[in-house]
Amino acid sequence: MATTVQRPKLSLLERSYFPAILGGLWITLQHFIKMLLGQTKVTMQYPEQKWDSAMPEWYRGAPTLVKDEHDRERCVACQLCEFICPPRAIAIKPAELPADDQWSKVEKYPEKFDIDMIRCIYCGLCEEVCPEQAIFLRKDYSITGLTRAEMVHDKEKLYELGGVRNGLVHKWNEKK
């Protein structure tokens, strides 16, 4: 059942919007005076100034792949990051290592590893679920591209951005 709501009666001054306009101008004038007196900060000039020094420790940026200190891939193409990714931004095509390879006990490696940065929501689930610590979120908030294709980072681009991480990698552990 519909209910009728009675609108309040507005005076001529309220209907003309002048009080609202004057109130907005008054707030703008107060901010301008505070800025001239140096009591407020001016907007950061973005391309020249960045937040890099003030980034919090817990900030989650763009995901990247990392290699170990011997320049070997940490990723075993287990596809856990692909399965847990909420927006389905990660696509992995696993491939098997040849039987005569030294590390043939490791069943797979990523033949193709793509992350669509347009779809990525920087949730960090891929980093948390990775058993080999092959994927890390870096502290980068400025990811740009001129086309959609540039925003899909392939394996080479991800390794270029990620670099090298030291530490135990279960994949290359001789005792495993």
Q: Provide the CATH number for the domain around residue 103.
A: 3.30.70.3270
> How high is the pLDDT of residue 63?
93
Asked if the structure places residue 32 within a domain, the reply is no
Question: Distance (Å, rounded) from C-alpha 47 to C-alpha 61?
Answer: 18
Q: Residue 6 burial (CB < 10 Å; 0-12/13-18/19+)?
A: exposed
Asked if the structure places residue 24 within a domain, the reply is no
Series of mean pLDDT values for 10-residue runs along the chain (176 residues) = 88 84 94 89 79 81 88 88 95 87 75 94 92 87 88 94 75 52
> How high is the pLDDT of residue 106?
67
Asked if the structure places residue 23 within a domain, the reply is no
- Could you tell me the residue range of the domain that residue 160 belongs to? 54-172
CA–centroid distance for 4 within its chain: 48
Asked if the structure places residue 4 within a domain, the reply is no
Asked if the structure places residue 65 within a domain, the reply is yes
> How high is the pLDDT of residue 12?
85
> How high is the pLDDT of residue 176?
46
Number of domains in the chain: 1
What pTM did the predictor assign?
0.68
